[in-house]
Amino acid sequence: MSLITSTSVYTSGNQYLPASETQSASTTTPAADETEKEEAPKNTGGVQVSLSEGVADARVRENMGLNPTGPLQLGDFKSAADTQEKIVQSRLEEAIATLGIDPDQQISLSVDSEFNITIAESFTGKSDLEKALNEDPEFELAFKQMSANREIVNYADSLTSRNASLVNFMGDDSSWDDILSMAKKYDSLKSTDASLTSLLGLSKTETPYTYTHNADAQAA
């Protein structure tokens, strides 16, 4: 699995996708390497050629902590996110203890528009904790992977809900504005190229993820 240690390697449109081949980590899984050998076009005659769609998709999957090749099920995203959440929780609790922050403090984490990990609540030590988390490569990678996978799962759930709403529309009192809004969301989905990158963009926009750490709830 590629280890991305800096937010600068992500493109402005999608913080989970490496901005270029040279910026991603030098090591990949054997499956990803094999895919690249088969599908990546050669750079000949001084002409720079971009990676094929298959290789690019494999890299995105790999950077999300998923198998870079083969079929994907929704459960794969859930399973990966669950594994990544264990790392997030462990590293966060270590940072909280190291900085002497109240262990009972609720902490809500998300990725902002500048691709930094931010905390919603205000409390003593907040800025130090944000700094520590953004400078921890293991935490940063696990948190961004988890966020990407959770957003896709939540987006899939939202599509299911929308479909149910459309089915029940004739017996519902939904306003016309609500229906138009729903239709626009379907149009945005249909207009994409059906790639994982497009799905990441849609899920990030429509179902952004926030991780909430609550010591009491997690101890129960």
The number of folded domains in the chain is 2
Is residue 68 included in any domain, yes or no? no
Considering 63, 83, 110, which residue would you say is the last residue of a domain?
A: 63
Question: pLDDT tens digit string along 142-169?
Answer: 999 999 999 999 988 887 776 666 556 5
pTM: 0.69
Considering 38, 63, 88, which residue would you say is the last residue of a domain?
A: 63
Between residues 193 and 65, which one has the greater pLDDT? 65
Same-domain pairing of 177 and 153 = yes
Between residues 4 and 56, which one has the greater pLDDT? 56
The CA-based diameter of the chain, rounded to the nearest angstrom, is: 64
- Torsion sign, CA atoms 110, 115, 121, 125: positive
| Alpha-carbon separation of residue 87 from 45, 80, 137, 184 (angstroms) | 46, 11, 12, 37
Is residue 1 included in any domain, yes or no? no
Is residue 195 included in any domain, yes or no? yes
Of 69, 2, 1, the closest CA to residue 38 belongs to: 69
Same-domain pairing of 199 and 168 = yes
Distance CA 176, CA 132 (A): 47
Describe the strand order of the beta sheet including 107-111 as a list of residue ranges.
117-119, 107-111, 211-213
Considering 18, 38, 63, which residue would you say is the last residue of a domain?
A: 63
Same-domain pairing of 53 and 90 = no
Same-domain pairing of 89 and 193 = yes
Is residue 17 included in any domain, yes or no? yes
Distance CA 30, CA 143 (A): 24
Tokens of 99: 């900085």
Residue range(s) defining the domain that contains residue 49: 7-63
Please name the residues in contact with 172: beta carbons below 8 A apart, sequence gap of 6 or more: 165
